Chains A and B, each alone.
Chain A
Amino acid sequence: MAVYEQTYHRYDGPRTSRRLRFLVIPRYAYQRLSGSKLLWALLVAAALVTLGTAVLIYLKHNVRALAALNLEVGSLLPINAEFFGVYLGIQLGIGFLLVLVAGPALVSMDLANAALPLYLARPLARWEYVLGKLTVLAALLSIVTWGFGLGLWLLQSILEGGSWAASNLRIAGALFAGSWIWILVLSFLTLALSALIRWPLAVRGVLLIVFLVLPGFGLALAQVIQSSWGHALNLGADLAVVQAALFGTEPPAGPPLAGAALLLAAVLAGSIGLLAAKLRAYEVVK
C-alpha cells in the first residue's frame, strides 16, 4: 500500500514484541496528556516539594550553611521515619490531584465512543488493555511518590553514611510498599469509576466525594458510634494506618490495622471486579 499507488498491499515487515505491546497505550496517552498545563503544574509542585525536602536534608548535614542562615541543627526536623511519612503523605495528596486530571477520561472515552472492540479485535487481551491504562496512572504516581521518595532516602543515606542506610532500610521499603498500595487502590478505583460512569467530569466528582466528603461522614460516624471504625469510610485514613505500620510510626485515628488493610483490599478487588464486568468488546442488547 503506498500513497502514490493507491492500491492495497499486505504488511510483511517486522512486528514489535507481543509482551510489551501494551505500552503503546500509555505512550499515546502521555502524548495527549502532555498538553495539559494543570498536569505539568502538579508535576512541578511535586518536584518543588521534593526539592524543598532535599534542601532540608542537605541543611541538616551542612554546618556552614546552617551558620549562614543562623539556624541550629536542633531547630530542624529530625530525618527519620516520621519525616519520610509526612513527605509521602504530601506527595500522595499531589498524586491524587494528578489522578483527578489524568485518570477519569482514560477508559470512559473509549467506552463512550465504542472503541473497545477496536482495541480487543487486535492481538491485545483485555488484561493488557487494563495494564496499559493502569500504567498511565501508575507511572505518573510512581514518579511523585516512591520515585522522588527513594531519591531523598538515597540523599540522606549518602550524607549520613552507610550505617544510617542499613539501619533505616525499613523506611525505603515503606516508601515503596506504601506508595504502591496507594497507586494500585487509587488507579484501579479511578479506572473502575471511569468504566462505570463514562463521563470524565462525573468521575472527578465521584472521586472527590469518595476522598473528601466521605471522610467527613466517617468522622461524624466515628463520633456518633464512639468507635474508630467510623474512620473506615475514609480511604485516606485506612491508607495512613497501613503506612504507619509500614514506617513503624504512631498510627493516626482510624480502624485497626487488619481492618484498614482488608478495606483497602476490598476496594481494590471490587474495582477489579467492576472493570472485568464493564470492559467487554461487545454489548448485549436485551
Chain B
Amino acid sequence: MSPILDQGPSPSPSQAPVIELEGLEVRYGRLRALKDVSYSLTGRAIGLLGPNGAGKTTLLHALLGFLRPAAGTARVLGLDVTTQAQEVRALLGYMPERDAFIAGMSGVRFVRLMAELSGLPAEPALERAHEALFYVGLGEARYRPIESYSLGMKQLAKLAQSIVHGPRLLLLDEPTAGLDPPARERMLRLIREIRDSGEVRILISSHLLRDVEECCEEVLVLKDGRIAAYSNLAEERRTNRRFLEVETRGAGDAFAVSLRAQGCELAVAGPRRLKMVLPEGFGVTELYRVAREGSVQLRRVSFRRDSLEDIFLKAMDLPEGAGPAGSPGPSAAGGEEAGRGGL
C-alpha cells in the first residue's frame, strides 16, 4: 500500500459530489452499454473497475458528453453533461485509452495547442505546456516530434495535455496500458501526486486492480453495464487496519488474557492462532510489547481484510442485475442509500 495514499486526507461526507449518476442508460443502437446506473461519488480519486466490455469507457464518454444518455442523467461537478456539455468539458481533462496525438508537431506544440483549445491565451498556454511536460518528465524531449516518442512517452504526453489547462476533474482511461513496469510506476506516482495536490479530482478507468488500489479512494466495479460493487477503499483501509490475525509460539493462553486486559476483542482460530480487533490507541507496537512481556513469540502478524481483488471477484460472481457488492451496499438503482459511507 502506498504511504502517500495512507497519509492523504479522507473525503469528508459533506463534500459536494464529483459525479452523480441517476438511472443512467447509454445505448449503441440496440445494445444497452450502461443500464440504469445510479451512484454519487465524492472521493478525490475514484476507480472504475471492470472486465473488458463492462461499460467503463462508455461511462467516461457519457461524462464527456460524447454519448447522449438514452435515459437518466449524469452530472459532473453539479453540471448536467447533456444540457451543459461545453461547460462540463471546460472543467475536464481527458486522457484517452488509445494512442492519441496530433501528427507533425513537437511535444510542446501539441500540448500548447490543447491548452489553447481549452481557452488559455497563447502565452500562458506555451508557458504551461512547458511546465506540464517537465512535470510529467518529458522536459528533455519536448521539442522532439511526437511521432518519435516511445509508447510510455506518448502516455506521458497524453497525461500532460490532460492537465495543461488545469482541469477540476481528470478522466484517465487505462493510464498504464502498455507501459513497462518502471513507466507504470512513474505514471502511478504522477497520478498520486496530482491527487494529493488537492487541486483536481481523478476518475481512473482500468481493468488493473493494482493500479486502482494504489491510486483510488473509492471504487466502482462495473459488470455488463451495471454497478456490480462499490468500495470505499480509504474507509476500508482505516477499518481493516484494526483487524489482525496472529500466529504465536509460547504461552498462548496467558497472552490472550493479557490482550483482553488491554481491550482487544479476541477469537481463538486454532491452537496457536488468534484473531483480534485492536482497540483505539492500541497498535502493532503495543502488541509486540505485550508479547515480549509474556515471553511469547509472534511468528506471523497479518492484517485481515477484503482485498480489492476479493471485492472484484465477488462482484464478477454476482448474477446480472444483482445489486452492488462490497461496502457499503446501496442498490444499483441508487436511491437514498447512495449517499452513505462517505459517498
Contact = CB atoms under 8 A, between A and B. Distances in A.
A2 B131 contact: yes
Nearest to B91: A123
A32 interface: yes
Contacts of A109: 102-104
A118 B120 contact: no
Interface residues of A, number: 39
Interface stretch (A3-11, A41-49, A74-82, A88-96): A3-11
Contacts of A24: 113, 116-117
Given A8-B163, A115-B101, A281 B64 contact: yes
B193 A8 contact: yes
Interface string A114-126: 1101111111110
A16 interface: yes
Best-buried of A10, A16, A113, A118 by chain B (most CB within 10 Å): A118
B134 A3 contact: yes
B132 A1 contact: yes
B64 A121 contact: yes
A9 B124 contact: no
B98 interface: yes
A197 to B, nearest CB: 16
Interface string B240-281: 000000000000000000000000000000000000000000
Given A114-B100, A123-B89, A282-B66, A8 B117 contact: no
A133 to B, nearest CB: 12
B139 A3 contact: yes
Contact of A113 (B87, B99, B114): B99
A109 B131 CA distance: 27
Interface in B29-77: 57, 61, 64, 66-67
Interface string A167-193: 000000000000000000000000000
B31 to A, nearest CB: 9
Interface in A96-128: 109-110, 112-115, 117-125
Contacts of A124: 89, 117
B234 to A, nearest CB: 20
A1 B96 CA distance: 22
A12 interface: yes
B90 A13 contact: no
Contacts of B93: 121
Given A9-B166, A12-B166, A123-B89, A114 B99 contact: yes
B128 A1 contact: yes
B128 A11 contact: yes
A118 to B, nearest CB: 5
Contacts of A14: 121, 124
A16 B119 contact: yes
Contacts of B132: 1
Contacts of B153: none
Nearest to A124: B117
A25 B121 CA distance: 14
A14 B114 CA distance: 16
A17 to B, nearest CB: 9
Interface in B80-135: 86-87, 89-90, 92-94, 96, 98-105, 109, 113-114, 116-121, 124, 128, 130-132, 134-135
A114 B103 CA distance: 10
A281 B86 contact: no
Nearest to A281: B66
A178 to B, nearest CB: 33
Contacts of B105: 28, 32
A123 B131 contact: no
Interface of B: 28, 57, 61, 64, 66-67, 86-87, 89-90, 92-94, 96, 98-105, 109, 113-114, 116-121, 124, 128, 130-132, 134-135, 139, 161, 163, 165-166, 168, 171, 193-194, 197, 199-200
25 contacts: A1-B128, A1-B166, A2-B131, A8-B193, A9-B197, A11-B120, A13-B120, A15-B120, A16-B116, A21-B116, A28-B105, A109-B103, A109-B104, A110-B102, A114-B99, A114-B100, A115-B102, A117-B100, A118-B94, A119-B117, A121-B66, A121-B171, A122-B165, A123-B90, A124-B89
Interface of A: 1-3, 6-16, 18, 21, 24-25, 28, 32, 109-110, 112-115, 117-125, 280-282, 284
Given A8-B135, A115-B101, A118-B102, 13 more contacts: A3-B131, A8-B200, A18-B119, A28-B109, A28-B113, A114-B100, A117-B64, A121-B66, A122-B118, A122-B165, A123-B89, A124-B89, A280-B66
